[in-house]
A and B are shown apart, each in its own frame.
Chain A
Amino acid sequence: MNWQVLIPLVLFLVIIFIAGLYASRHLTSSASFLQEYFLGSRQLGGFILAMTMIATYGSAGSFIGGPGAAYNIGLAWVLLAMSQVVTGYFVLMILGKKFAIMARKYNAITLIDFLKERYQSKWVSIIAAISIIVFLFSSMAAQWVGGARLIESVIGIPYITALMIFAASVLIYVIIGGFRAVAITDSIQGVVMLIGTIVLLVATIIAGGGIDGIVQTLRNENPNLLTPYGNDHSLTPLYISSFWILVGVGVVGLPQVAVRAMSYKNARAMHRAIIIGTIVVGMIMLGMHLIGVFARAVVPGIEIGDKVMPTVALKVLPGWLAGIVLAAPMAAIMSTVDSLLILVSSAVVKDLYISYVNPSASENNVKWTSFIVTAVVGVSVFALAIHPPNLLIWLNLYAFGGLESVFIWPIVLGLYWEKGNKFGALSSMLVGMTSYMIFDKFHPNFLGMNTVVFPIILSFLCYVAVSLATKPVIAEMD
């Protein structure tokens, strides 16, 4: 057991826990339980909004899988990762004011509330709820596995124990504090992610004898590591560019990100969040992935990609500082899992239970149902994570692509195209989901592009064609 590393990590967990408890006090003072528990009463300011968006989006993929891939592939993977700078401004600019205004007009608490009101269709909301539950459930499990493996490898405690510590610390504050606890802890976690990235990048460069020395070492080992084509010269410009859809503009269609565009206080908060978000997401993505590449010169010969980040942190930093830096991937994982958990819970409670099972549920009934559902979802994910599947980053990206294919057009065209109707939305969701699964199984990287590209094109065509072909149901938009 590595005490020097352990102490800062435990301290980090304690701080997060206290912040979560603090946030839970709002639950008793708030006028509407549902508004508060699932949306923080739409009170997020600019800084918290930026941080919760980044922290929700930045996951085990960014801090564990990403640096691991960059270690093996080289600067080409950093190039690919930089397509994510877009998420810092694009999501808020596109959903932006329109979504905030419409959500308030519809009195929508969840993304599905919005879709249901916009399309006036039971089936749209049911399919949306099922997609969220299925895809995000697997995504949460992947994140949890990443977190537990990290604790296991860094501190040297058994996987199961690590998983339990991890699950318990996230579950408690989410269950008792809801969305506000998620957003506030996300802010702390986002700051930890940023500081951890900067400290580790600087320490890695120093340990490698400066950027010149590191780049020289990499060139001697394999010059391809320095090209935009990857270590074996196999990554085409088209392939790397296609990630702009998966991890760049397509992020607009991720429910866990989109729901945050309903939660901010006012336009000024949104403006600030765009600026802060762009700066922070760019620094984290550039820094973390560069660390992965540079680590190859500092600690060569790491076989498992997921171990690159923890290994290099332990190698180039003193124990206590490594503990603080390793809180960054933990923060990334916790801040993603907590957001997914509250979102899945909202889909079950608000979009299935209250809408279809018990519409006349009392405030108290809703409150307890919310607590219980959140707990049950969290514990089931924990159970699933006990026997974890491999290759974290791809599992994570799988949920990504699937959700984007389902949600991007019903959200974006629903906001901006008045002729879009429920038939268009429904068919585009179904086509998005099934075509994603078919492409993923039979033709991943079809025509040399990421799997997500064609399902998104198909669901777009479907939305437009079916909306035009069916009787227009003019949305109440102005």
Chain B
Amino acid sequence: MNLKNKKKKDWRFHIAHKEAIIGVILVIINFIWWYGFAYGLGSKDVSEYHYIFGLPAWFFYSCVVGFIVMVVLVVFAVKAFFKDVPFDDEEEGSI
């Protein structure tokens, strides 16, 4: 292992750590959305429920829209922030 090699790895780990943090942030957003709509709208009496496309509004926003929102956020995060890095330390020939 030479010094140059070490520097290269630091560079890759920096990116890896950043991407792991993005993962944690996405989970927090996901949870807040999921929990907020489910219990924010779902805690009233069933007789007061609103319905969207036939589904109770809490469920529609929490589970259906929430899922779509997460897909959009994940695609955005990957396209905007995730970087292509080599995994092998050096080209070691074919494995």
Would you call A241 an interface residue if the criterion is a C-beta within 8 Å of the partner chain's C-beta atoms? Answer: yes
Contact between A96 and B20, CB atoms less than 8 A apart: yes
Contact between B17 and A416, CB atoms less than 8 A apart: yes
Chain B proximity of A215: nearest CB distance (Å): 5
- Kindly state the interface size class of chain A when it binds its partner: 35 or more
Contact between A94 and B20, CB atoms less than 8 A apart: yes
- Would you give the 0/1 interface string for B4-34, flagging 1 where the beta carbon is closer than 8 Å to chain A? 0010011011011101101110110011001
Chain A proximity of B52: nearest CB distance (Å): 10
Contact between A31 and B94, CB atoms less than 8 A apart: yes
Q: Please count how many residues in chain B sit with their CB below 8 Å of the partner chain's CB atoms.
A: 53
- Would you give the 0/1 interface string for B49-89, flagging 1 where the beta carbon is closer than 8 Å to chain A? 10101111011001110110011001100100011111111
Q: In the assembly, what is the distance between CA of A32 and CA of B23, in Å?
A: 34
Chain A proximity of B3: nearest CB distance (Å): 12
The answer, among B19, B56, B67, B75, for a CB contact under 8 Å with A282, is B67
The answer, among B12, B15, B63, B87, for a CB contact under 8 Å with A79, is B63
Q: In the assembly, what is the distance between CA of A477 and CA of B17, in Å?
A: 13
| B47: A residues at CB distance < 8 A | 223
| A244: B residues at CB distance < 8 A | 31
Chain A proximity of B42: nearest CB distance (Å): 4
Contact between A478 and B54, CB atoms less than 8 A apart: no
| A78: B residues at CB distance < 8 A | 59, 63
Q: Are A97 and B70 also in contact (CB < 8 A) when A211-B55, A478-B9 are?
A: no
Q: Are A286 and B63 also in contact (CB < 8 A) when A90-B23, A215-B51 are?
A: yes
| A101: B residues at CB distance < 8 A | 9, 12-13, 16, 87
Contact between B87 and A267, CB atoms less than 8 A apart: yes
Contact between B16 and A97, CB atoms less than 8 A apart: yes
Contact between B87 and A214, CB atoms less than 8 A apart: no
Q: In the assembly, what is the distance between CA of A248 and CA of B35, in Å?
A: 14
Would you call A180 an interface residue if the criterion is a C-beta within 8 Å of the partner chain's C-beta atoms? Answer: no
Q: In the assembly, what is the distance between CA of A317 and CA of B40, in Å?
A: 37
Task: List residues of A whose CB falls within 8 A of some B CB.
Answer: 31-32, 35, 41-42, 75, 78-79, 82-83, 85-86, 88-90, 93-94, 96-98, 100-101, 104-105, 210-212, 214-215, 219, 223-224, 226-229, 237, 241, 244, 248-249, 266-268, 271, 274-275, 278-279, 282, 286, 416, 477-478
**What 4 pairs across the A-B complex have the smallest Cβ distances?**
A93-B23, A211-B54, A223-B46, A97-B16
Given contacts A211-B54, A228-B62, A278-B70, 7 further A-B contacts (CB under 8 A): A41-B95, A83-B34, A93-B20, A97-B87, A226-B59, A275-B71, A478-B13
